Amino acid sequence: MRSPRVTVLMPVHNGAAHLAPAIRSVLEQTFTDLELLVVDDGSTDPTAEILMSVPDPRLRVLRMSRSGIVAALNTGLDAASGQLLARMDADDLADPERLARQVAFLDRNPGVVACGTDYELFGAATGRVRMPRTPARCRARLLFGTCIAHPSALLRLAVLRDSGTRYQAEYTYAEDYKLFSELSRLGDLANLPFTGLRYRVDAAQVSATASTAQRTAAIRISRENLAAAGVTGIPERVAADMIWPPGRGPTAALRYAYRYAPTLIAVGARAGGLAGAATATRLVRERLNTVLRQPAGTRSEHETSHVE
Question: 289-306: per-residue pLDDT in tens?
Answer: 988 875 544 334 444 444
For residues 116 and 106, is the Cβ–Cβ distance under 8 A? no
Q: What is the per-residue pLDDT for 296? A: 43
How far does CA 254 lie from the centroid of its chain? 30
Helices and strands counted in the chain (H then E): 12, 10
Cα-trace Rg, the chain: 19
Q: Measure the CA–CA gap between 88 and 82, rounded to whole angstroms.
A: 15
pTM over 0.85: yes
Q: What is the per-residue pLDDT for 209? A: 56
Q: What is the per-residue pLDDT for 210? A: 65
Q: What is the per-residue pLDDT for 304? A: 45
Q: What is the per-residue pLDDT for 301? A: 44
Q: Measure the CA–CA gap between 63 and 250, rounded to whole angstroms.
A: 50
Residue 199 burial class via C-beta count within 10 angstroms: exposed 0-12, middle 13-18, buried 19 and up: buried
Q: How far is CA 76 from CA 8, 81, 127, 131, in A?
A: 9, 10, 31, 26
Q: What is the per-residue pLDDT for 141? A: 96
* Pairing of the two strands 154-156 and 127-130: unpaired
3-class secondary structure, 88: coil
Q: What is the per-residue pLDDT for 92? A: 97
Residue 163 burial class via C-beta count within 10 angstroms: exposed 0-12, middle 13-18, buried 19 and up: middle
Left, alpha or beta for 164 (phi > 0: left; psi -120 to 50: alpha)?
left
3-class secondary structure, 238: helix
Task: Average pLDDT across each block of 10 residues of the chain; the chain has 308 residues. List them in order.
Answer: 92 96 98 98 97 97 96 97 97 98 98 98 90 96 96 98 96 96 98 97 63 89 95 90 89 92 94 94 91 57 43
For residues 275 and 136, is the Cβ–Cβ distance under 8 A? yes
Q: What is the per-residue pLDDT for 295? A: 53
